[in-house]
Structure 1
């Protein structure tokens, strides 16, 4: 990852869409698509800042490199970067996110400062600041953990799953063998989407384990959870299952 230009807004470090895309080895169009597709999950002021009109002009005055004809600018916070990593759901995105947290979003200047020569009052203030940052980071991590558990286990699209189950049952009645049809549907998805569901499932299990999810719930997580977690896979898989059900698959 190239050295990122530091951008501060509202007393915190943020990244532009272009910087985020570069870090995740993606494209600005892909980042924007993920945001538009999952816009209900993002909260302005928490996950991102949208600068337009006077706010954008004021930002340009203090950040000379952002001159030109742009009329809006998205700035992504650490929490916003986490949501984008979740949407992309690639090993590179998760690795890059961890690097961003360690080397960019978390300011370490105070931690690296030798305070031994400072007055007791200043040392106390610095220690208080460090304590507040640690508390804030723990809160962020707890929110991320709760969000992952909620979205993975409590907000499953049961209507979609019921539809998929019905289509697969129809395909099994026509072709014979429920397990065989499901395996074939996964094979076709991996072929069309150029992905490996087994690896993605293992990665999901590992992330859930790191976040303290119970072994029972992790065991219950399956390939369908992986597919549902990524809109592109969900769309491709739905098409495949429809084709299997009506016998139009070539």
Structure 2
């Protein structure tokens, strides 16, 4: 395996092409995954840097360089024991590179202090990666089975993380807007049409009022799949901590 890291603007970085080779992925899929993060990650440009490098035919191809934070964010979705092994190798490479970049200590006492600090920092970073992996596994466990309850649980968890139940409506509307953008349809128009047909059939006012956008989504397997993906992405975007918000039992019974 070639060197995992290079230096760029006085910081350790790796490249999208390197990621593709290491994790046995198509480079264009890695680029796509990075650019999917672009619209949701506010400090994207602080973690990812677009540039070019020569391909096997010496032609310039577009790549992304990423620092430790960018790599950690991108690699959250890479699962499996083999992927975990490579992620730990990258973390170790970042740690080693950063240690080489640090100024050499002037005394034995400083050396001891630096080693202790490095050990603590490495344990903290490994713990953070493990927590992110647990969160990602639990979020990705959301499937079409009992999806309505699970979706509501995650959206409620995001609202609570933001400050309380008053944010639930905003998060729900954001999820519907993302669904409409991805699926190329209007859920609100479909909902209004559904309620109009119910009224013509003589359905009660109570039944009409209880009909929601989730009922519209539930009628279309494609919409269910897209909506589940949207909710997963929102959970990752808002860095929802499954354990902290009591969602283990909600998601425990679901499998990948």
TM bin, normalised by shorter chain, reads 0.3 to 0.5
- Greater length-normalized contact order (CA 8 Å, ≥ 6 residues apart): 2
Q: Normalising by structure 1, report the TM-score.
A: 0.47
Q: Normalising by structure 2, report the TM-score.
A: 0.46
